[in-house]
Amino acid sequence: MQIAKPLIWCPLSKATATAMSHDSMEATGAGILCALPPSTALRISSGQVITSVSSAVKEMLENALDAGADAVEVRLEEFGLDKIVVQDNGGGIRREELPLAAARHCTSKIKDLEDLSRYLSSVEYRSFQSVYDIASFRLSSYGFRGEALSSCCEMGQVEVASRAEGEDVGARVSFDQQGKVSCPVRSAPMNRGTTVTLAGIFSRLPVRRKVAERTAKKKEELKKVERICMAFAIIRPKLRQD
């Protein structure tokens, strides 16, 4: 199954990526997962991204679609408060890049602000003033700030398992609150794709957790998750969501 305009996680070696010209960004839609320069990070950062179960699901779904997935499974335990699991069949994250996945302002989607300008001039849109102008324009990815997974780490316990194209076996890693690897990378038998798990959302924020545990709030969030899944299914008709 093919999605309308699949974004390909590009499992290139560093040397290949460096050799590639910046102009090819539009064609590949992705690059090496690395830290943005601090000045770029500051200009595009937006603070806290994960404020609810539904916002976590939305970010994870966007990452799955950015990785070219055409099948995504979303599992919630106790309305997502105990566990949110989003599993996709996208291009995956290479084992050596996995430890960077939840580090703040690490992204494979842009290398610096120039990448954004280049992309925008390539589609003849030159007058953007801020990241919000850019975001309102049809970019080739849903996100490029490298904040979602790091924000998930602030909110709970994050584990990412992934197997990239061409790898014989997958890899699994857990992250601490700062988005740093909290244990050695372990091998994980799995198909190509990525599984992101966020356990114990708000466990470090007792007041927010209490609010989220209210029955009405839990149901409201579940409705939002359903709506988000529906919305992605509508804009990506070939996407299968279980």
Ligand X SMILES: Nc1ncnc2c1ncn2[C@@H]1O[C@H](COP(=O)(O)OP(=O)(O)O)[C@@H](O)[C@H]1O
Binding residues for Mg ion, per CB under 5 A? 63, 143, 148
Q: Which of residues 9 and 202 has its CB atom nearest to ligand X in the complex?
A: 9
For residues 9-48, which are near ligand X according to CB under 6 A? 9, 33
Dist. CA 23–CA 31, nearest whole Å: 12
Two structure tokens written together for 89: 């069949």
Specify the stretch interacting with ligand X by CB under 6 A; choose among 84-92, 131-139, 180-188, 222-230.
84-92
Residue 93 sits in the site that holds ligand X (CB under 6 A)? yes
> From the centroid of its chain, how far is CA 51?
15
CA distances to 71, 80, 104 from 75, in Å:
13, 8, 25
Binding mask 154-193 for ligand X (x = CB under 6 A): ----------------------------------------
Region binding ligand X by CB under 6 A among candidate stretches 111-119, 121-129, 137-145, 214-222: 137-145
Interaction between residue 143 and ligand X (CB under 6 A): yes
Residue 67 contacts ligand X per CB under 6 A: yes
Report the candidate in 93, 89, 84, 31 with the shortest Cα–Cα distance to residue 58: 84
Count of CA atoms in the C-beta half-sphere (13 A) of 89: 12
